[in-house]
Structure 1
Amino acid sequence: MKTRIIAGLILFALSLGGLNASPRDRILMDFDWKFALGHAGDPRRDFNHGTAYFTYLAKAGYGDGPAAANFDDRSWRPLDLPHDWVAELPFAPNASHSHGYKTVGYAFPEYSVGWYRKHFVVEEKERGRRFFLEFDGVFRNARVWVNGFYCGNEPSGYTSFGFDITEYLNFGGSNVIAVRVDASLEEGWFYEGAGIYRHVWLTSTKPLYVPQYGTFVRSELRDNDAAVYITTEVRNKYQENTSFRILNIIKDREGREVARTHSVEYTLRPQEGESYDAVIEVEKPRLWDIDDPYLYSVESCILLGDTTTDIYTTSFGIRTIEWTADKGFFLNGRHVKLKGTNNHQNHAGVGSAMPDALIEWRLGRLKAMGCNAYRTAHYPPSPALLDAADRMGILVLCENRLMGTTDQVLDYLRRLIIRDRNHPSIIAWSIGNEEWAIENNERGAAMATLMQDYAKLFDNTRPINAAVSGSWGRGISSVVELMGYNYLFHGNTDLHHERFPWQFSVGTEEGSTNTTRGIYEDDPEKQYLAAYDRDTPSGFFAIRKGWQHYAARDYLAGMFIWTGFDYRGEPTPFRYPSVVSYFGMYDLCGFPKDNVYYLKSWWTNEEVLHILPHWNWQGREGEPIDVWVYSNMDEVELFLNNKSLGRKTMEKNSYLSWEVPFKPGSIKAVAFKDGKKRLVKVVETTGKGDSLKLEADKTIIKADRMDLAVVTVKVIDNKGRTVPDAANLVSFDISGPARIIGVGNGDPTSLEPDQFVPQYKRIKPGNWKAHKAEGIDVDEAVRAEFDAVSWEAAFQIKGLEPGSQPELTVYKGSFTLTQEDIKGQVTWLFNSIATGQSVYLNGELIAKSLSDSYNRHSLRFDPAMLKVGDNHLVILGYPLVKQNIWDEMNTDPGEILIYHAAPQWQRKTFNGLAQVIIQSDGEPGDIVLKAKGEKLKASELRIEAR
């Protein structure tokens, strides 16, 4: 769905007003959130959430702790979404192996709950419209409140969800969203991160509207024309019966109208919703294809008399797909062999919180390798990924998270299909992956049959797949429409095809080879594995063997490699300190491993010539080095220091190799096509590192607070050659309208920080005592040395009874600081607990006559007034008096915030490379990134934000 999108940085000049000129507005809510870690097991450390007399489940509007509308979140860290707090956490050897040894999960309750809050204003003139809060994905177990009203819970970390929050809003006033995220329980066996790691939206409509995901658009080719079928759901939240018509307008990519159709008049009762069908003929359409991903849009206009009450825009493509049991897959009648990869949503530096521009950058890397397909293993993808696949012409196998046949579990499958079925990139739905408890038995077959039939209720234009590991011919694999083979060593695809000749088939996982970028000898001690394409000791086949098998068989539609990119977690075959997988064709940063060039040779029409390994083997003179060449040329001749080592013929889908005794200098490959020299590639012995070089994927970014540049950091010698074994610590500084959001280097054993963020430490002053000023020496009482142990405990009642005459009272409390605390910026976020307040720190007056009409004050302490150990606070004032007997006056004096600025951004290079991701901060201007390394010449890079 596409509607008018308004960026939050423009919008939140703190108002949502002035938008009702449009029937529908979709507002990006990613900016200016507040965040703090809570606690999974200790309510006190979870901001006392859930401890109130009336909980949020007892009565409407009774959210407590951070869920309360008036909660003081000033000490929380400001940030923008998407956000993955696990990317900021340390590693630990006792943490989850599958999640990359990050300190999150049931064993780390102090790191497993995060709270988010966002303040915004809706103007009074917006009253009468409907407002919908929409989350693309939160990992995981998200509970949401608006102004203290509980909206609901979404347990899954991968399912999009939303709420109609209209009745909870304060029109003409302040509003706050609170989200509690609990990642204590893993949902998968791979790194998942934690937090609001996908977009948040606020959609505004009139009361007669199309709900989110409320259209289904599909097409059918008829000779040179297309019939476009449109199903539109309409809901009525007016308080009376409402009659309307639907106008559907199809537009081309340039926004020109192609065709339209009007409906008859329909009527809906209050709170009723219904779906309506229409068909439009499009003459000589331009088809969506992997080489020409042409997109149309349909505007579904809801007409209330002469007024347009809603315009819901759906992007779609006109194309045909056909799966056949004997010839594989066809797109628009043309045979297409699927050349795909599996991928998880995480990247170096940012974890699972990948901005849209980074998602698109990664898809671009895969497409450059020759990928035309992508499997969303093993969960529903980000909507942004599917939008990018639509634009870029990448075919998608879209996968469900969990198999199951109860109504609740099936509903996740329904929600996936309803959300994503308009994407032309999607060519099949997967209901599950390697479900070992059921995949080889009758229960599995029954469950798959039911899920397959259920999925067809919502989309019968695509087949249903399940990925099966070791149970070919039984259970799930005997009933599923589209058989997914996981790993050839599990069985014989020819025998399975012979037994089930009606079944479509594809390799859903192949490979699982373990390699480390830039490493060419196994090093078990360092936990590095050579980057040659080899079978693994555990039985997985080399990439080339998998591709040779699938390329040679027409009935196999293609294959998806495990995986396109390395990902956090699952560091097979090692354990800690390995924290990243070894499966990728690219490493965690997206730097290519050598297998990329094998695939590019046979997956693209580009001319390819690639040599491995590097030629820096000083100290090993005369020892044989295994030299491989990847190419799609007919022949290749190899030279050592310009002396020929022989010319060899390249077999299709294969590679060439030579045993070469090491001698410093160069290895040169010359490739021939049709007997003519076509390509030359040289790999040289480099000198030691001399300087740094910064290269960005683009030098102009949008000044929209979302766009980014991916910067490669290279260590080069004095001839400008990348030093392939350089390991230098590099520090980074940035100026101008941008920020660094992550660093990485692709080293699967690196325990360096991915992010350097400010630290917000909170201390709650305690030991509060109180005494009426009359009868004591106030000047003596405010001194730090004065012992108030005999005074009564303060704040035992929440305000004096109505009509009481308050007496001047002294309140005394304390807090403890360390030496490190005093190095930071220390501020008391003080909440008024009296009138006419004067405040003292360690006997020194720091504020007087503080107003109680503005409850919240910020008192920054002079470092010279602080001391290591106990520090003493005194508040002198008149206790608050209730206006009504049921009132509860504030008795919380606030908390101490200790702020430390973010440390210096830095990262060590791994085999000569590192990566920095920089993102726009929303303003135009010149951005300068500087890099410095020990004994290396510095470098800087300029990027323009427009």
Structure 2
Amino acid sequence: MRKIRSILFIVVSCSFLNTQAQQSKRLNNNWEFLREDLGGIWEAVRPVKPGSSESVPVWEKVNLPHCFNATDAVDPDVNYYEGPGWYRTNLKIDNPYNKGRTLLHFEGAGQKTQVYVYDKKVGQHIGGYDEWTVDITDAVAEFKKDSVFNGRFEGKVPIAIRCDNSRDLEMIPSDLSDFNIYGGIYRYLNLVYTPQLSFDKVFALAEVDAAGKQGVLKISSRFYNPNNIKNVKVGIKITDPNGKIIGESQKQFTPLNLNQELENLTVKKPMLWSPSSPFLYTVEVSVSQNGEQAFYTEKVGFRNFEFVKKGPFMLNGKRLLLRGTHRHEDHAGVGAAMTEDMIRKEMLMMKDMGVNFIRLAHYQQSRIVLNLCDSLGIMVWEEIPWCRGGLGGDIYQAQAKRMLTNMIEQHYNHPAVIIWGLGNENDWPNDFATFDEEKIRMFMSELNDLSHKLDPTRMTAIRRCDFCKDIVDVYSPSIWAGWYRGIYTEYKEIAQKEFDSVDRFIHMEWGGDSHAGRHSENPDAALSKVKASGTGDERAGDASLFGGSARVSKDGDWSESYICNLIDWHLKEQETMPWLTGSAYWPFKDFSTPVRPDNPVPYVNQKGVIERDFTKKEAYYVFQSYWTDKLMAHIYGHSWPVRWGDAGEARMVKVYSNATEAELFVNGISQGVRKRNSQDFPAAGLRWMVNYKEGENDLKVVAKKGKETVTDEITQQYQTAKWGKPAKLTLSKIKDTDGKITIEVKLLDANNVLCLDAKNVIEIGLTGDGKLIDDQGTSSGSRKVELYNGRAVISLLTNGGKSVASVKTEGIKTVFLNL
């Protein structure tokens, strides 16, 4: 507990939602929001009748979680909002406990937050990603004493919260970071009632030897005890994954320490936690005093892991290849304010793709994510947002240490966590006038020491800061073979060289951008312009689409076809690298970023294997074909409606599958059976050269593994007509269902032939009663977007009326469509 100015300013870091006896309620509804600042707190809490002339400024009704930047982060015409915003509500507060405490528990809010009960400031927090709690007990009691004020609010208590994501060089993360620094109460906010004595935190450390013969479970706690109660009874119950009680005790503590060791239990032959069998034990702790109890429940797992020096990764005594990806807290239409259902869907999609490891980039993420990683069997690298920009002063460094401490303490019990990340791309300057490598090394060492002091059982790691790679336990260099540098066939050679340069190596971040819906008949053409790099690192300016040496990121077609080949090559090579600990593809889902306004979808990093709205790209199935056991087969090109070439010209058809063999049928005629061989690139040998007929073609694959069979089918058009210079746009309605219309843009030449390689930037407008479903940051949800194979689609809501849609591009006549 720390005090700020007075007893009303008590702020503690805790995990109250793990408790059972304490009453907790998510405060999702009945909020109002103002995206600007106020002249003072009185403007937020003064009692004014709705609709009166004094109701200024005008507030917007919202639900939590809520993000300032739900849509403007990907609005092609504006900079996303960075500044203050206010939330307000009136709460019915009746704590049932005698002398109990009333708390507001924030699971995350960005980036500087202040909390008010009526006109009294009761707490504040700096940092957008860790959890924190404000004790509002005394302020509520003081407000309720004033019968006049209390009566005006009909017995409810006015709460106002100010969030601020303004640019601030003395905060992390840097605004140079390749992601938006969101504002708002974008994770769940909870009203919590506790007895006067409760738990702040329970630390449960489950350790086991590599053979799995004997485990030890150490339990300690930190209490929330503002009244300094000294004589208490603590109960402990531990159950195994089958619900069997394996340990139970009652202990008296007089006096009670703030930090108290509770239990040290030996567990013989524990059920081991792993990606294939994520067994979880349950720890239940209670504390009793004056007839009241507080409970705390945690899940823990026994697992033994090791990054072998100059060797692979071992889990429970056996080699395991870490098959990973990355996650940003970002989604279409909501920004960072993802609901629990959205988060669950995303994590299940990762698991279904075969992921067993994830780097949570580049900040502490929601407790919901960590709980799902525990239960799904996904190992975690979680890191603080010291990302790019250099190193600030004392305030900056204190925040970094505080966020590291909070992250480790709040997620200490999760068996999924194996690495605490200390930073990302810390060799990237520009936030400050000076860039001092030695000072960065000194601070990195301080963070490394702090991490090991707080948790000696996990590894520390950083990505891309070569002058600090000797400080941390595990290091990831920058290897972007085939994207920012070089060609993808260099991957194994470069990785081996980097592996030899450190004691413990892992490969974070690889891949490249793909514009969903764009495909190519010759995807590797750009490689002819690119020289082998020997390093594969991304360098200053390589993320730019302009200038510099030839590289696929600048000179390639950004097609799904190319990225599937790049991923395919990496995955087949990783199967032949016995020394490799693992890698993580960057990232799982496209996300918004302020530093990429010129991308095909403006302000979106398009390297994901799914789009921001969960739409799968073709690359998703490449991973599935290597990483999953459940039989699957996917013909490449579900989002490729029209292929092209000469009449009679053979075209490659690829099938991504984990089957042992597959047979392709085109227009009902067998093209033969192919055997899968992961080293037969591309598509592990499941490819056919096919003669398409002009017009419509039906493709079907039948894939087998043992007695199991699975099929997949698509229909594609084949165009032999050659196109000339783009000359005209067309706009047509292709779907109309329940008040939602989808329209399609096409770019044709003077002879009305579809220009299948056209990448023009188009802008779609709408006038009338309807509303475009845009600012989604997806290829089909952006009013300004690059065409994919000469076409683009977007949807709109009619709102029961009429509208006129328009589309324009530079140098071509604008066209209109009545709807």
Query: TM (normalized to structure 1)?
Result: 0.62
Could you say which residue in structure 2 is the equivalent of 1:227? 216
Equivalent in 485, 493, 496 of residue 495 of structure 2:
493
> Which aligned pairs between 1:102-181 and structure 2 lie closer than 5 A?
102=80, 104-105=81-82, 112-123=83-94, 126=97, 128-170=99-141, 173-181=155-163
Fraction of identical pairs, as percent: 23
Q: Residue 185 of structure 2 corresponds to which residue in structure 1?
A: 196
1:579 aligns with 2:550: no
How far 1:371 moved relative to its partner?
1.2
**Which residue number in structure 1 is paired with residue 34 of structure 2?**
36
Is this contact kept in 1: 2:477–2:498, CA < 8 A?
Answer: no
What amino acid sits opposite 2:642 in the alignment?
W
Q: Aligned partners of 1:931, 1:518: CA distance in 2, in Å?
A: 33
Q: Is the 8 A contact 1:579 1:750 kept in 2?
A: no
The residue number in structure 2 matching 1:415 is: 406
**Contact 2:408–2:455 (CA under 8 A) maintained in structure 1:** yes
Question: Which residue matches 2:458?
Answer: 462
Distance in 2 separating the partners of 1:141 and 1:321: 37
Question: Does residue 1:244 correspond to 2:215, yes or no?
Answer: no
| Residue of 156, 160, 164 corresponding to 1:182 | 164
Note if contact 1:572-1:582 (Cα within 8 Å) is conserved in structure 2.
no
* Residue matched to 1:424: 415
> Which residue is 1:797 aligned to?
none
- C-alpha spacing 1:375/1:208, structure 2 compared with 1 (3 Å): same
Does the C-alpha gap of structure 1 residues 248 and 72 become closer, same or farther in structure 2, counting only changes over 3 Å? farther
Of the two, which has the highest radius of gyration?
A: 1
Residue 260 of structure 2, aligned match among 275, 278, 285: 275
Q: Map 1:209-608 onto structure 2 (within 5 A).
A: 209-211=198-200, 213-221=201-209, 224-238=213-227, 242-252=230-240, 257-268=245-256, 273-304=258-289, 307-402=291-386, 406-437=397-428, 441-468=437-464, 471=466, 475-489=467-481, 492-500=494-502, 503-517=503-517, 519-520=519-520, 529-534=558-563, 542-569=566-593, 574-575=598-599, 578-608=602-632
CA shift digits 1:640-684 (9 cap, x unpaired): 434565665543154245554543343546566689995554322
Q: Offset of 1:604 from its aligned partner?
A: 0.9
Shift of 1:357: 0.7
- The structural deviation recorded for 1:339 is 1.1
Judging changes above 3 Å, is the alpha-carbon distance between structure 1 residues 127 and 32 closer, same or farther for their aligned structure 2 residues? farther
Deviation at 1:463, TM superposition (A): 0.4
> For residues 914 and 428 of structure 1, do their structure 2 counterparts lie closer, same or farther at Cα, with a shift above 3 Å needed?
farther
For residue 608 of structure 1, report the CA deviation from its aligned partner. Answer: 3.1
Instruction: Find the counterpart in structure 1 of residue 67 from structure 2.
Output: 84
The CA distance in 2 between the partners of 1:750 and 1:713, in whole Å, is: 13
CA shift digits 1:151-198 (9 cap, x unpaired): 333232222222222211138643222111222327543134431110
1:20-31 equivalent positions in 2, closer than 5 A: 23-31=21-29
| Equivalent residue in structure 2 for 1:651, among 677, 687, 690 | 677
For structure 2, list consecutive stretches of 5 or more residues without a partner in the other structure.
1-13, 145-154, 168-173, 430-434, 486-492, 527-544, 546-553, 719-731, 745-755, 786-790, 804-819
2:512 maps to amino acid: S
Contact in 2 for aligned 1:65/1:71 (Cα 8 Å): no
Q: CA deviation at 1:131?
A: 1.9
Kindly report the root-mean-square deviation, in angstroms, between the aligned alpha carbons of the 2 structures: 4.4
TM-aligned CA distance change 1:90 to 1:300, over 3 Å: closer
Say which SS state the counterpart of residue 505 (structure 1) adopts.
coil
Alignment-derived partner of residue 756 in structure 1: none
Say if 1:90 and 1:203 are closer, same or farther in 2 by CA, change over 3 A: closer
SS in 2 for 1:510: coil
The corresponding residue for 2:658 is 632
| Alpha-carbon offset, residue 255 of structure 1 | 5.7
Task: Sort the Cα spacing of 1:446 and 1:549 in 2 relative to 1 into closer, same or farther, 3 A.
Answer: farther
1:772-801 deviation per Cα after TM superposition (whole angstroms, max 9, x unaligned): xxxxxxxxxxxxxxxxxxxxxxxxxxxxxx
In the TM superposition, residue 480 of structure 1 has moved relative to its aligned partner by 1.5
Deviations 1:568-610 (A, max 9, x none): 2368593476232220111121121111111111111233332
The answer (yes or no) to whether the contact 1:551–1:558 under 8 Å persists in 2 is no
Unaligned runs of 5+ in 1: 7-21, 39-45, 50-62, 97-101, 106-111, 536-540, 695-710, 716-723, 734-739, 754-909, 917-928, 935-946
2:780 is the alignment partner of 1:751: no
Give the superposition deviation at 1:729.
12
- In structure 2, the CA distance between the partners of 1:616 and 1:202, relative to structure 1 (3 Å rule), is closer
* Cα distance per residue 1:736-759 (max 9 Å; x no partner): xxxx99995831771389xxxxxx
CA distance in 2, matches of 1:410, 1:620: 59
Does the 8 A contact of 1:374 with 1:560 survive in 2? yes
Q: Secondary structure in 1 aligned to 2:591?
A: coil
- How far off its partner does 1:562 sit? 0.7
User: In the alignment, is the contact (CA less than 8 A) between 2:28 and 2:188 conserved in 1?
Assistant: yes
Q: Quick one: which amino acid aligns to residue 285 of structure 2?
A: S
Distance 2:734 2:774 in 1: 25
Q: Which amino acid in 2 is paired with 1:143?
A: Q
Distance 1:460 1:673 in 2: 47
Q: Normalising by structure 2, report the TM-score.
A: 0.71
Q: CA deviation at 1:498?
A: 2.8
Give the length in aligned residue pairs. 669
2:350 aligned counterpart, secondary structure: helix
Give the direction of change, closer, same or farther, for the CA distance of 1:429–1:454 in structure 2 (3 Å limit). same
Q: CA deviation at 1:320?
A: 2.4
Check conservation: 1:428, 1:462, Cα contact below 8 A: yes
- Find the aligned partners of 1:265 and 1:248 in 2 and give their Cα distance: 13
* Secondary structure, aligned partner of 1:294: coil
Q: Is the 8 A contact 2:506 2:580 kept in 1?
A: yes
| Aligned-pair CA distance for 1:199 | 0.7
Give the superposition deviation at 1:210: 1.6
**Aligned equivalents of 1:5 and 1:389: distance in 2?**
16
Work out the CA distance in 2 between the residues paired with 1:394 and 1:618. Answer: 38
Does the 8 A contact of 2:285 with 2:297 survive in 1?
yes
Q: Which amino acid aligns with 2:334?
A: V
Structure 2 residue 621 is matched with structure 1 residue 611? no
Q: What SS does the corresponding residue of 1:388 show, helix, strand or coil? A: helix
